[in-house]
Structure formats: C-alpha cells, structure tokens
Amino acid sequence: MSEFSPRYVTPDQLATALREDGYAVLSPQGVADWLGRPLAQLDALHPDWDGLPPDEYLKDGGRYRQRRHACFTVDGHDLQQVPHRAHWQPVEYNALHGGMQRWFAPMEAATVVQPVWQQLMRSLAATASALRGSQPWFVEAHQFRIDTAGGIGR
C-alpha cells in the first residue's frame, strides 16, 4: 500500500499558504507551536477521538465513519459554544450526503473546555480574520475518523 505524506507548512508560512493555495497543513508539532502550547496538550485530546460514535447518516450504508459535532461563535477573544444543532449541506456541495439535517452526536464537554481546544478555535478565527478582515466567526467543529480497511472510504 502506498503512503502519502502531506506537504506541511510551518506556522510562519500558514497565512501565505492559505492565501495562495487555499489550504494549509501543519504538522502536529506545527499546530502546537502555532498555538504556543506543548504538544502534550493536543495529545491529551486523543482519548475523545477513540470514543467517537458511528456516523448514522451515510447514505451509502457504510459504517466506516465515526463523528462528533459542535458549533461555536468566535468574536475576537470571546468564544461561545452555541446550542447543539444539525449539520446541513446542500446537495450541490455534497452530492452523496447533502440535502438532509444530520444530527451528529455532540462533542464531549470535557473536550470543548480544554484550554488547548479553546485556543485552537480562537487561533483559527484570528487567522481567518487576518485573511478576510476582522469579524465574528461561526465555527462548525467536526471530530471524525474514517476507517479505510478493505478499501472502503478511500
């Protein structure tokens, strides 16, 4: 089986990569450096990913994805979790799973209160504001895992 490593950028290259390429991938240590937090604080979030419930909305009948979901508003330093809501995408954006309200299990409270999680939300919003102008941001956060065993989900 082939393995493909992502093209990582460093935290100081993040804004340029987003502006020029429309995306950027930081290594785990790069995320920690960008947040100004020890990598161990990010690693402490791993157990929550190990307990993700199945995604019950796979129209192809698959059981290969697990997920949790939460929504936040970020306005400057002010971070607020908003009441749990459905995730929705139009079929024009997601032909397979769009066009329906998907009520994923909410993220665990123990995760969203972690200082490193809150710093991640604030830093993402600050980066978006640096690129698009300062404004309040609505964030849909998805924790998910896709199991590609047997080729499904690839």
> Within this chain, do residues 87 and 141 fall inside the same structural domain, yes or no?
yes
Listed in sequence order, the residues at least 6 apart from 64 whose beta carbon sits closer than 8 Å to its beta carbon are 58, 146, 147, 148, 149, 152, 153
Mean pLDDT of the 132-150 span = 92
Range of the domain at 28: 1-43
Q: How many domains does the chain have?
A: 2
> Within this chain, do residues 14 and 80 fall inside the same structural domain, yes or no?
no
pLDDT at residue 132 is higher than 90: yes
User: What does pTM read for this prediction?
Assistant: 0.87
- Write the pLDDT tens digit of every residue in 81-131: 999 999 988 889 788 887 788 899 999 999 999 999 999 999 999 999 999
- What's the half-sphere exposure (Cβ side, CA atoms, 13 Å) at 48? 21
Evaluated on CA atoms 45, 50, 52, 56, the torsion sign reads positive
Listed in sequence order, the residues at least 6 apart from 62 whose beta carbon sits closer than 8 Å to its beta carbon are 152, 153
Evaluated on CA atoms 20, 25, 31, 33, the torsion sign reads negative
- Write the pLDDT tens digit of every residue in 66-81: 999 999 999 999 999 9
> Within this chain, do residues 31 and 104 fall inside the same structural domain, yes or no?
no
> Within this chain, do residues 38 and 57 fall inside the same structural domain, yes or no?
no
